[in-house]
Chain A
Amino acid sequence: MGVRAAAVLAPALLVVLVAMGTTLAAPAPPAPGSVDRVLQLALDAPRVIDYEGTKIITVLRNGRTETVTAAEFHKRPNMTRLEYLSPEDVAGRLIVDDGATSWHYEPRLNTAFEGPTMNTGLLRGDLSLLHRNYRVTELGTEEVIGRQAYVVLLTPNGPGVSRELWIDQATGTVLRTEERDPSRGVVLTTYFSRISFSLNLPAAYFRFRLPAGARVLHLFPTVDEAATPEVLGRQAGFTVLVPPVLPEGYTFSGGGISRFGSLTSVNLQYSDGDSLMSLFEAPAGSIGAPAFGQDVRVGGRPARFVDLGYFRVLIWDQRGLHLTAVGTMPTETLLAIAGQLLSAQEQALAHSVSQQVAVDPGTVNRLRREGLTFPEITRAVVLSQRLGIDVPTAVRFLQGRLSTAQLAHTVGVSPAALQRGVREALEQASSVGPHLPAH
């Protein structure tokens, strides 16, 4: 068995780790002040180093603040092994992710859950969207578990959760994180209480072996990143609602359909480069409102709010659909998003936007069917007019799929000039409605 092979290797491994602890040379540290390079270092770290450590997570769970301990193993570029140690109800839980498949094994039930990898971000990682939507500040250096770490603060331009990262100077590994919600204070902290770096953790650690007699549950939804709400709606058999407004910076990042049992849901994802909002839509009646959570009202209509601490969930019915929004944004923001979706007069808004930015309504409607919010459409149109590029190119740039350097090259201006133009265009676009109400 893999586990046994790992156990046999373990003593030898420790020796190697101890030996390597001293020989792991530091890469050239980024020059002080170059906070972008620090973030890049952190982004690249999972691809260049293996580690094994003990992680402490503090978060609201089961309705109270809990501290969870886990042994975390990482093998480059994208393999993870997590062994949860405490509290009692998670002790023994094992998660093995080999970069393609993620396995969760629960020994108490002798059940394994198989699903898609959680580690797609480790390979695809790109910071252009994050840079566009967050102020990145270096707060100096601090010592974390005896190691020197850069402290970096990410503050969203719009309302949202800010994040502090303690990034190991020698390896780029994130040693500690703290997430802060403006309305509630710290909502999630994680840190390593111990960590060892290595050049080559045994592959056997990252291979899941199904224990004898274990029950297996498969949880693979369809996720096709290119799918637009229009295509997804055709496949699911209902018209997909697209949010008219989201917090600044959130841009359509993909969608999919999942079918479990008799339930068919469409999922739209919006990312700001650091956080994600998911909107799930299913025919009303295929699923009821949960019996827990808080009753709230959105646009005068009943809705249910479920607080999971870091993740927050809002559920409501609209136009024959059952909608569920999941995200890390503040509760008020989530309510405002739902309010906009409920009250939106799609055609009136499309008409108003096309008038204000002088573009034909057909273009606005097409971009809506591709999942863009009205502010995204406004920004893309104004940017395309200002830079003399086509709208799809502007969309790709705003969604972080085209870098500033690439676009500057296309347009034939310097990156600095481009950035100026972009700033002005975005300012101009921000005066065009609709907006998320301030709170």
Chain B
Amino acid sequence: MTLNHHRVSQLLSAYLDRELGPAETAAVQEHLLDCASCRAAYEGLRTTKELLGELPVAEPPAGFWAAVRAPWLDRRAAAARIRGVFGRRVAWASAAAVLALALAATPLVKGTIDRLHASEIGVDLYVRQHAQAMGAEPFTDRAYLGLTTGDADLVLSGDAPPAGAAPR
């Protein structure tokens, strides 16, 4: 496939993202070897993408988590929504204040593991939970915790012999 200069210049972003098929990719590559202006354009796009990718993850402001976790506490947001006015600020602080109580009263329980009949499961579940909690100790090795947690996950999903069983 041979592509003209204009067509290639339109494909540079997709080429950069590796979103082109093999024939188009080869044709763009071939053109880039010969065309300095396309090479410069490509470099510019690549650098632009790179700059965007380096933007820090925006940290939500204080109160955000509380309000998102307990939307039922936030009547003002609901009122703003009904009025169709969106610019109004919501009651973050009060939501946060009530949340502590709400969380204490609402057990946040989640479990989709349904093969809890085998007696072995308990140990791996507990080891996993212990490993997660060890993350709160300051000098715990995270790669070790990840290894242990991962091994426990495999048992819980029914894919591996339980921890402490005979070696595979």
Instruction: Please give the residue numbers on chain A whose beta carbons come within 8 Å of chain B beta carbons, in ascending order.
Output: 4-5, 8-9, 12, 42-43, 55, 57, 59, 61-64, 68, 70, 72, 80, 82, 84, 89-90, 93, 95, 97, 102, 104, 106, 109, 111, 113, 115-121, 124-127, 130, 154, 163, 165, 174, 177, 188, 190, 200, 202-204, 217-224, 226-227, 235, 253, 257-263, 265, 267, 269, 271, 273-276, 278, 280, 282, 287-293, 306-308, 310-311, 313, 315, 322, 324, 326-327
Contacts and interface: CB of A to CB of B under 8 A. Distances in A.
Interface string B107-119: 1111111111001
Contact of B53 (A5, A93, A163, A261): A5
Interface stretch (B4-12, B24-32, B78-86, B134-142): B134-142
A267 B129 contact: yes
Nearest to A218: B110
Contacts of B157: 109, 111, 113, 217
* A interface majority secondary structure: strand
B1 to A, nearest CB: 23
Contacts of B91: none
A165 B140 CA distance: 11
Contacts of A90: 147, 150
CB-based closest 5 A-B pairs = A288-B119, A118-B135, A261-B116, A260-B111, A306-B164
A327 B113 CA distance: 24
Contact of A259 (B111, B121, B139, B163): B111
B165 interface: yes
A370 to B, nearest CB: 15
Contact of A120 (B103, B136, B163): B136
A220 B108 contact: yes
Interface residues of B, number: 66
Given A106-B150, A202-B54, A258-B129, A219 B156 contact: yes
8 contacts: A9-B50, A118-B145, A174-B139, A220-B111, A227-B104, A273-B138, A292-B120, A326-B130
A220 B139 CA distance: 24
A313 B127 contact: yes
B120 A63 contact: no
Contacts of B164: 63, 290, 292-293, 306-308, 313
Contacts of B44: none
Given A70-B147, A93-B150, A308-B163, A57 B135 contact: no
A203 B130 contact: no
Interface of B: 16-18, 49-50, 53-57, 103-104, 107-116, 119-123, 125-151, 153-154, 156-157, 159, 162-168
Contacts, number: 248
A290 B126 contact: no
A173 to B, nearest CB: 11
A278 B114 CA distance: 24
Given A204-B53, A226-B104, A292-B164, A260 B150 contact: no
Given A220-B108, A259-B109, A82 B153 contact: no
A6 B108 CA distance: 34
A111 B160 CA distance: 13
B163 to A, nearest CB: 6
B144 A121 contact: no
A416 B47 CA distance: 57
Contact of A84 (B18, B139, B147, B162): B147
A260 B50 contact: no
B101 to A, nearest CB: 11
A170 to B, nearest CB: 18
A131 to B, nearest CB: 11
A10 to B, nearest CB: 11
A26 to B, nearest CB: 21
Given A57-B144, A118-B145, A222-B107, A274 B139 contact: yes
A258 B111 CA distance: 9
A401 B55 CA distance: 36
Contact of A68 (B133, B147, B156): B147
